[in-house]
Amino acid sequence: MAEKVLMKGNEAIAEAAIKAGCRHYFGYPITPQTEIAAYMAKRMPKIGGTFLQAESEIAAINMVYGVASAGFRVMTSSSSPGVSLKQEGISYIAGSDLPALIVNVQRGGPGLGGIQPSQSDYFQATKGGGHGDYHLIVLAPASVQEMADLTVKAFDLADKYRCPAMLLADGTMGQMMEPVVLPEVDTAPVEKPWAVTGTKNARPHNIINSLYLKPDQLEKTNFERYEKYRQIEENEVMYESFMMEDAEYCVVAFGITARISKNAVIAARKKGIKVGMIRPITLWPFPTDAIAKAAEQVKGFLSVELSMGQMIEDVRLASGCRRPVLLCNRTGGMIVSPEEVLAKIDELVAL
């Protein structure tokens, strides 16, 4: 087995991206994700890759658009306010059906907000973010190991479906160090016959474009894209089920709050409360079926989030509002404690 090393979550993303064959990184510094850019700045020149600190987040995402058009694995990373700036470019990339990785190591908002961890970009990540009919594949790591593994997964899914993917982490996941075994990746390049690489007069032009002035054509591309999304929803949902076999209550949490909630679930079990947890790993596609199935089994749900309550809407939808759904939350950079989650579990039981 490969060696376990201690790495920050941000560094694990960067190294995993390189292992996944990413040789182009464009970004602009912002806390708490700057280690990704710093790592790329050090490593990329040594392996023949490109690191470029752009003049702005907007420039960086459009450089990603360009490299993705040429068929190379490419990424950018930022934190919440910076990811807002990228939204126009992300919409163009989605509208042009291009694979790319966007990393958001979230901090408190809205506005410039603060620099402490947050999950309040859930809506932005899973419901669009930019304009138009599109989705991103959104992956939510809950350990440094997953920061690495899901980075590789995100590149693979993006290529498979010609669709931009987002890794949605937070300041804690980015800054913490844990042992990680860096993934060994089969780097065989994915065939991309659609890429704009020059025709050499041997084939017709490939066109990368998101502008369709004829509405029937634009409608057609949107319908086709949503057929692709349907396949992603069918095939790519990932979640972790924890102590759900006999659960009478279900906590739903992702990323850092899932780890905190796990402590609370274990503590509640010690008190004799039959509670389990569903941890969405893909936030889009959301594990709707798993929540729906749990709704048949449990008496209530608890959504734990570092926001004013965003994922809770998906939990309500997926459960068909058949069971009460409570919210346990902190926001603005504050972090929920296991004790607060446990108190909410007690509240749920007392309903």
Partner 1 sequence: MLTQILIAGFGGQGVLFAGKFLAYKGLFENKEVSWLPSYGPEMRGGTANCSVILSDDPVGSPIVSAPDVLIAMNLPSLDKYEDACVPGAKLFIDETLIARKIARTDVDAYYIPATKMAKDAGIPTLANMIMVGKMIRETGTVSFEGMEDALKKVVSAKHADLLEVNLKAIRAGYDYEG
Place of tokens 């440094």: 144
104 contributes a contact to partner 1 by CB under 8 A: no
176 contributes a contact to partner 1 by CB under 8 A: yes
263 contributes a contact to partner 1 by CB under 8 A: yes
- The least CB distance from residue 30 to partner 1, in Å, is 13
Conformational region of residue 255, where left means phi above 0, alpha means psi within -120 to 50, and beta covers everything else: left
Q: Over the range 300-320, which residues count as b (16 or more CB within 10 Å of their CB) and which as e?
A: bbbbbbbbebbbbebbbebbe
178 contributes a contact to partner 1 by CB under 8 A: yes
116 contributes a contact to partner 1 by CB under 8 A: yes
- The least CB distance from residue 261 to partner 1, in Å, is 8
**At a CB cut-off of 8 Å and minimum separation 6, what does 49 contact?**
18, 22, 23, 24, 25, 40, 43
Burial class (CB in 10 A: 0-12, 13-18, 19+), 338: middle
271 contributes a contact to partner 1 by CB under 8 A: no
175 contributes a contact to partner 1 by CB under 8 A: yes
- The least CB distance from residue 279 to partner 1, in Å, is 12
Helical packing angle, 311-318 and 288-297, nearest 10°: 60
342 contributes a contact to partner 1 by CB under 8 A: no
DSSP 190: P
241 contributes a contact to partner 1 by CB under 8 A: no
CA distances from 74 to 49, 145, 150, 187 (A): 10, 21, 15, 14
Distance CA 342, CA 13 (A): 32
Query: Contact letters (x/-) for partner 1, 52-71, by CB under 8 A?
Result: --------------------
243 contributes a contact to partner 1 by CB under 8 A: no
Piece of the chain touching partner 1 by CB under 8 A; list 58-66, 167-175, 201-209, 300-308: 167-175
192 contributes a contact to partner 1 by CB under 8 A: no
- The least CB distance from residue 74 to partner 1, in Å, is 27
Place of tokens 């504050």: 334
Q: What residues make contact with partner 1 under the rule CB under 8 A?
A: 4, 6, 31-32, 115-116, 171-172, 175-179, 256, 259-260, 262-263, 266, 335, 337-338
